Amino acid sequence: MKVCKNCTLSDNIFSVRINDEGLCNYCLQSNKSNNNNNIPIEEYVEKEKQLMEAFDKYKHLPYQVLLAYSGGKDSTFTLYKLREKFNVSVLAVTFDNGFLTEQCRQNIHEVTANLGVDSITIKPSFSKLAKVFNLAASKEIYPKKSLERASSICTACIGIVKSTVHREAILRKIPFVCFGWTPGQVHVKAPIMKLDYRMVMANQKQIQEPIVKNLGDEYKKYFIDPEWIEDQKENVPSLAYPLVFSNYNEDEILDTIKSIGWKRPKDTDMNSTNCLLNSYANSIHARDYGYNPYSLEIAGLVREGFLSSEEGLKKLSASGEDSVINYVKNELDKYSKL
């Protein structure tokens, strides 16, 4: 296995090729592509201005933004920024996959109280979710490219989260949906994107189809109905990216969110600050594919100067606690039999 000397990517990842100089194709491409690398501060200011103006058009609504709030550090910082910097009204929607830590639940309680934010939690039956996660762990149901960005289990989980929050935003006529996406996770040219409902459905199809095909029609209820969204197409929200165009500094983020009552859970792995399932999902992914599913995200942060390569490698080499991995496995096995 070869590792890029610049960004930490290994050639175990399907799309990574390392050249004779020890540089990967992502680093070579980043010099000419349109990413956030070396964006001058004026451009960040301009992007934030665009966000502010877009949000301000909807000041009259009860909620301007629906935030998919996992309780982790990035979505907590996104919530902080939405409230303190953009001064928008937010509905925080948490999807409970059954593996949120107790500290995470406490953090959601503290942070939403301190920021004056209304919050709801949506929790599908755990036995249903356990079957989805076990399916994702045992069969290759998603494209290889998706598996470069996240484990199969996390892809299934976040796919259901996306459908859930879109449906909530449409139902409540909330014009913007935010996630805690960081600069390493997505590359978009603008801080706001309005996707046509057909695109939302095309994206959903990839997550939904293998789940319904393998587990049955009763799982359709966790996704958006195609006829309903067509009737509601005027209410499909825009996607807003408040963290993507910013100087992402993990230490500063942690310091900031501590000031609003957030505490780091002690039982999650190094790449998660809210969910125990992550450790199990990563271990399955590393076993099946030979690399950490956070590799591309971490390499993106290293490449863009938000993390040092030493910090990146440390994150990549850290695995979850065996006790947590076994706990998750046992829970999934137990509940997926129901």
Interacting residues with another protein (CB under 8 A): 14-15, 25, 32-35, 142-146, 149, 155, 162, 186-189, 193-196, 198-199, 202-203, 205-206
Nearer to another protein, 199 or 338 (CB): 199
Compute the least distance from the CB of residue 310 to another protein, in Å: 27
Nearer to another protein, 121 or 206 (CB): 206
Query: 3-class secondary structure for 200-226?
Result: HHHHHHHHHHHHHHHHCHHHHHHCCCH
Closer Cβ to another protein, 112 or 292, answer by number: 292
> Which C-beta is closer to another protein: that of 162 or that of 303?
162
> Closer CB to another protein, residue 11 or residue 267?
11
Q: Looking at beta carbons only, is 47 or 83 nearer to another protein?
A: 47
Q: How far is the CB of 220 from another protein (least distance, A)?
A: 18
- CB 281, min distance to another protein, A: 17
Q: How far is the CB of 263 from another protein (least distance, A)?
A: 30
CB of 288 to another protein, least distance (A): 14
Q: Considering the complex, what minimum distance in angstroms separates the CB of residue 31 from another protein? A: 11
